[in-house]
Amino acid sequence: MNKIFSVYNKLYFHFGPQHWWPVTEKGNFHPTYSGGPKNEKQQLEVCFGSILAQNTSWKNAEKVIVELNKHSLFDVKKIIKIGAKKLAQIIRSSGYHNQKAKKLKNFCDFLLNKYDGKLNLLFKNDIAELRKQLLSVNGIGPETADSIILYAAKKPIFVIDAYAKRIANRLGYKEQRYDELQNLFMENLPNSEKLFNEYHALLVELGKDICKKKPLCGKCPINRYCSYYKSK
């Protein structure tokens, strides 16, 4: 078994399944980890959430999900209709709220103009075309696009975020660019949406509490695979 796969098994054994992506169940305002989206409203939540979480703690993004639920704003046409300033105020606690208000509007404009406002039409594209389409939206970069593909469309692609990059580099891999890191993971794993979903979530769990900027290597379940740890 290759090292990338061994690391996954070790993390899964240590932390258990993560039940990503968090979405809001009917009747609630707060999203929960219940195994990902099961309808189009929840899929839209994943899309908005992946934009709102850009370079921000999930806690801050989550506050905004709650606010958007209260205002019934998981609705493409309503996002287009509401004023940018008003939307920015509502999503304030996610940080970069002025930019993110525009990004949400850009995404909804794109969806309405090209796909009749329907995610299920957008998601009918194959992965390569879907990614290309998402990247054409100003405000959606590679990580956000891949998060939407994996967690909203539930198609197999590996998401690289700051945690994945930091952990891979500490493990000893030299890759720096997004696509190089993505290839590293995808070439060493079976092409499985379920696996990519869990693995990325597990990397977040490790990166958040253990493999931090100042890492707590003593607590790390994969330190025996880690060149950073070995070199200390």
Partner DNA sequence: TACCAGGTCCTCG
Partner DNA sequence: CGAGGACATGGT
- Residues in contact with DNA by the rule CB under 7 A: 20-22, 49-50, 53-60, 63, 92-93, 95-100, 137-145, 147, 151, 161-163, 177, 204, 207-208, 212-213
Can you tell me the distance from the alpha carbon of 72 to that of 81, in angstroms, rounded to the nearest whole number?
13
Q: Which long-range contacts (CB under 8 A, 24 or more apart) does 90-97 make?
A: 90/64, 91/52, 91/64, 91/67, 92/64, 93/60, 93/63, 93/64, 93/67, 94/52, 94/53, 94/56, 94/60, 94/61, 94/63, 94/64, 95/55, 95/56, 95/60, 96/54, 96/55, 96/56
Tokens of 1: 């078994």
Taking the complex as a whole, the smallest distance from the CB of residue 61 to DNA amounts, in Å, to 8
Taking the complex as a whole, the smallest distance from the CB of residue 115 to DNA amounts, in Å, to 18
Taking the complex as a whole, the smallest distance from the CB of residue 21 to DNA amounts, in Å, to 5
Smaller CB distance to DNA: residue 35 or 142? 142
Task: From 7, 52, 13, 6, select the one nearest 21 (Cα to Cα).
Answer: 52
Distance of CA 46 to the CA centre of its chain: 8
The full length of the chain comes to 232
Q: Which residues pair with 31 in a beta bridge?
A: 24
Under 8 Å between Cβ of 217 and 209: no
Tokens of 24: 């809001």
Q: Which residues pair with 24 in a beta bridge?
A: 31
Smaller CB distance to DNA: residue 34 or 56? 56
Taking the complex as a whole, the smallest distance from the CB of residue 132 to DNA amounts, in Å, to 13
Taking the complex as a whole, the smallest distance from the CB of residue 63 to DNA amounts, in Å, to 7
Taking the complex as a whole, the smallest distance from the CB of residue 76 to DNA amounts, in Å, to 19
